[in-house]
Chains A and B, each alone.
Chain A
Amino acid sequence: MKLRILIVDDMPLSRQRTQRYLADVPEVEVVGECGDAESALEAIDRLAPNLLLLDVQMPGLTGFQLLERMPPDRRPVVIFVTAFAEFAVKAFVVQAVDYLLKPFDRERLAQALAKARDGLGRSRAAAPAPAPAETPIVYLDRIAVKSVGKTVFVSTSAIDWIETAGNYVCLHADKDTHLVRATMNQLESQLDPRRFVRIHRSTMVRIEAVKEIHPLFNGDQTVFLANGDKVVLSRSYREKAQAALGLR
């Protein structure tokens, strides 16, 4: 998801530094910067950022007071950026996704942005499902595939792997491929995590179908499936995937 960032910080050099670091990050747009909370409130209304990089101590309202003045449902995701270590607990209470202490480096900022993307992904996925917490989770054991004139049911135990294809996902099952209109994130949440694991932004595999794993040079790995297909396990999914595959 693209991050639309508003920088709120009273120190010009500090804003400049944050801008410099953000310039190299893909899928990021800095929609504006403000030197105080009052003008930030106005800018949030006008520019609709989905992420605030927020200082605490500024002339006028503090960063926390700014958040108090916003309706919770319209509040962007928040990362605090400050020289004060002592507000971290308070930041936790107002559900900031991260807390950057000045000065910070590019890697630390990248980490915080990753958390923000996670946070945004969750709130978006949670929005259409009414009260997901109260209903017990039931995972799909077959997937309905609509095609011209008929609907085919594909058993999840027949699926070897799944890849994204534009607005569709492609189910590879028993030498057949089926197109289903869904996103990978939606499907991932509907499949039993004990049976399926995400190994790439665009790939998920059935754990039972995995035969071998071979390392590649850059930290990625090649996964060989029992049906002879091979897919890539990307570095960024390695930790989770390895746990699911029983490698640690």
Chain B
Amino acid sequence: MLAGAAILLLLSTLGLAWLAIWQHRRFARRIAETELRRLRAQVDPHFLFNTLNAISELGYDDPESADHAITTLSGLLRTSLDETRQQEISLQDELEFLGDYLSLQRLLMRDDLAASVSTDPRAAHARVPAMILQPLVENALTHGRPIGGKGRIRVSTSRNGETLLIEVHDNGPGFNSGASGAVRKGIGIANTRARLDYLYGGKAVLELKDGDEGGAVARLTLPFREAP
């Protein structure tokens, strides 16, 4: 009789403990998901307003470009606002998004910006975090443009065995130029790093350094994974 009661007590204690652990795990997972959603890169509102400002001017003497810009901007917003979007997408899709973003930036800067994107065909099907590149390019555009000269942004991707390498080059003042260097490693970069940590543990690396031929480079190294 006594033994039966003891067993019952033991079982219910185990049950409660299991329930507590299960709830804790579920809670931790929800926090991680929320954190990821918060960190997910989105189109910067300033970029949005600057683009709208440019489009309103284009409407006067280049309606066709204004029309095109509205379509491109709508596409970017739709992607950016899509809550159901996967955390990871193929590099090809990511570069397509980036291409649209860059074409609008070129519209804003007119002749003051040149941009190129080159892709290693072996890397095109790699899986990457959605919108991981846009903040890096935005950072390069904000801080990495030479004063009074033409800005150049070059994005290159390559695959080296089990590693995917993505680089964003600019021709600006670089990181070692005092104040602007410190400003550059701002909130966008911190968010990107935190996001990489959530998704890859310690296996993804983001380095910011001066380029070999001047300017600055943001270099992202990810473990190569095939996109679904």
Contacts and interface: CB of A to CB of B under 8 A. Distances in A.
B112 interface: yes
Interface string B89-122: 0000000000000000001111110000000000
A12 B147 contact: no
Contacts, number: 65
Nearest to B144: A59
B148 A17 contact: no
A20 interface: yes
A102 B49 CA distance: 6
Interface in B5-52: 45-46, 49-50, 52
B54 A83 contact: no
A36 interface: yes
B56 A38 contact: no
A228 interface: no
Contacts of B52: 102-103
A53 to B, nearest CB: 13
B112 A35 contact: yes
A101 B48 CA distance: 12
A60 B173 CA distance: 9
A20 B148 contact: no
B49 A36 contact: no
A203 to B, nearest CB: 39
Interface string A125-158: 0000000000000000000000000000000000
A196 B146 CA distance: 57
Given A20-B60, A59-B145, A59-B147, A14 B110 contact: no
Contact of A83 (B50, B151, B173): B50
A12 B46 contact: no
Contacts of A102: 49-50, 52-53
Interface residues on B, range: 20 to 34
A103 B52 CA distance: 7
Contact of A13 (B49, B110, B148, B151): B110
B99 to A, nearest CB: 20
B112 to A, nearest CB: 7
B76 interface: no
A57 B139 CA distance: 12
B30 to A, nearest CB: 31
A11 interface: yes
B46 A13 contact: no
A13 B142 contact: no
Interface string A15-51: 0110010000000000000011011000000000000
B52 to A, nearest CB: 5
Contacts of A168: none
Contacts of A35: 112, 148
Contact of A101 (B49, B112, B143, B145): B49
Contacts of A83: 45-46, 49-50, 53
A59 B172 contact: yes
A12 B110 contact: yes
Among all A-B residue pairs, the 10 with the closest Cβ atoms: A17-B57, A83-B49, A103-B53, A60-B147, A102-B53, A13-B54, A59-B145, A12-B110, A83-B46, A13-B57
Interface of A: 10-14, 16-17, 20, 35-36, 38-39, 57, 59-60, 83-84, 101-103
12 contacts: A12-B109, A13-B53, A13-B54, A13-B108, A14-B53, A14-B54, A17-B57, A35-B148, A59-B147, A60-B180, A83-B45, A102-B52
Given A11-B53, A35-B112, A60-B147, 17 more contacts: A11-B50, A11-B109, A12-B110, A12-B111, A13-B107, A14-B54, A17-B53, A20-B57, A35-B148, A36-B147, A36-B148, A39-B148, A83-B45, A83-B46, A84-B46, A102-B50, A102-B53
